[in-house]
């Protein structure tokens, strides 16, 4: 049974709000309709759970089983440039290349939660469906840099009956931002926002994917393999110390 902080729960404040979507993916397949209804009456965070686990989502492309179209949730799609002392880092002015996809989450025949790619239908207007990439603050979500905007699918013959197939590869660069230049030093995320436009309507659907947080460093500050006492480690130590002083 889930309990609030005032009832002796060991969960930190804000845990449920931060992890509600992930918990939904794991628990919804095992809950009955009456249980979902009870949860929705208990807390507003559970109201979206009744929609089930097959909500269409935006995410990063990764290897998919060619026979079933399924991908195990154990495989992490997002990979930063590297890690320093266990924390993800990305480099300023270093090209980032990714490809996006739309998918749902559902249990397979073995009872395991898997992802399944969703293909667009004829109602989608590919020429007007766009993807935007932003660099945002990890905590507040405030936009720091606009990194990319363009059509979601590869260029092609987009007539009235055309159905797009493959999303275009997205390439962008962090041009100006460094974690060490913020007070206090800040972590960031990449935010991908897909705006889908359909024929015969002015209503647009928006899908958002945020990467896990990372530090943005100068390329020279990221350590080379085998160079344990490099300038990069000293740079990172100073960054953490500065953040501690200004927190």
| Domains of the chain, each with CATH number or no CATH | 1-53 (no CATH), 76-99+119-246 (2.60.40)
- When computed from its CA atoms, the radius of gyration of the chain, rounded to whole angstroms, is 21
Going by pLDDT thresholds of 50, 70 and 90, the confidence category of residue 86 is: confident
Phi, psi angles (nearest 5°) of residue 237? -60, -45
As a whole number, mean pLDDT of residues 182-186 equals 88
How far are the Cα atoms of 14, 17, 43 from residue 48, in angstroms, in the given order? 17, 12, 10
Question: What is the rounded distance in angstroms from the CA atom of residue 213 to the CA atom of residue 89?
Answer: 9
Quick one: three-class SS letters along 190-204?
A: EEEEEEEEECCCCCE
Tokens of 75: 């495989």
Question: What does pTM read for this prediction?
Answer: 0.66
Centre a 10 Å sphere on the Cβ of residue 160 and count the other Cβ atoms it contains: 7
> Each residue of 91-143: pLDDT tens digit?
998 889 888 988 887 666 666 667 777 777 777 777 788 999 999 999 889 99
How far are the Cα atoms of 4, 9, 33, 41 from residue 1, in angstroms, in the given order? 10, 10, 17, 15
How far are the Cα atoms of 82, 83, 166, 183, 199 from residue 86, in angstroms, in the given order? 9, 6, 34, 22, 47
């Amino acid at each position: 049974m889930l309990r609030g902080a005032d009832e002796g729960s060991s969960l930190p404040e804000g845990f449920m709000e931060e992890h509600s979507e992930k918990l939904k993916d794991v628990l919804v397949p095992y809950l009955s309709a009456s249980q979902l209804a009870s949860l929705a009456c208990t807390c507003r965070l559970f109201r979206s759970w009744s929609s089930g686990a097959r909500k269409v989502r935006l995410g990063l492309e990764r290897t998919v089983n060619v026979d079933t179209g399924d991908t195990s949730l154990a495989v992490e799609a997002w990979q930063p440039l590297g890690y320093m002392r266990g924390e993800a880092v990305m480099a300023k002015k270093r090209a980032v290349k990714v490809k996006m996809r739309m998918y749902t989450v559902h249990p397979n025949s073995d009872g395991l939660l898997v992802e399944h790619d969703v293909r667009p239908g004829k109602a989608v207007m590919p020429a007007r469906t766009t993807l935007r990439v932003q660099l945002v603050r990890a905590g507040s979500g405030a936009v720091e840099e606009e990194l990319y905007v363009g059509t979601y699918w590869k260029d092609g013959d987009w007539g009235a009956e055309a159905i797009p197939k493959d999303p275009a590869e997205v390439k962008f660069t962090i041009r100006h931002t460094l974690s060490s230049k913020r007070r206090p030093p800040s972590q960031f995320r990449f935010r991908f926002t897909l705006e889908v436009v359909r024929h015969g309507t002015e209503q647009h659907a928006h899908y958002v994917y945020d990467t896990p947080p990372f530090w943005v460093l100068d390329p020279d500050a990221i350590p080379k393999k085998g160079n344990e006492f490099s300038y990069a480690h000293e740079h990172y130590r100073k960054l953490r110390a500065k953040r501690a002083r200004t927190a």
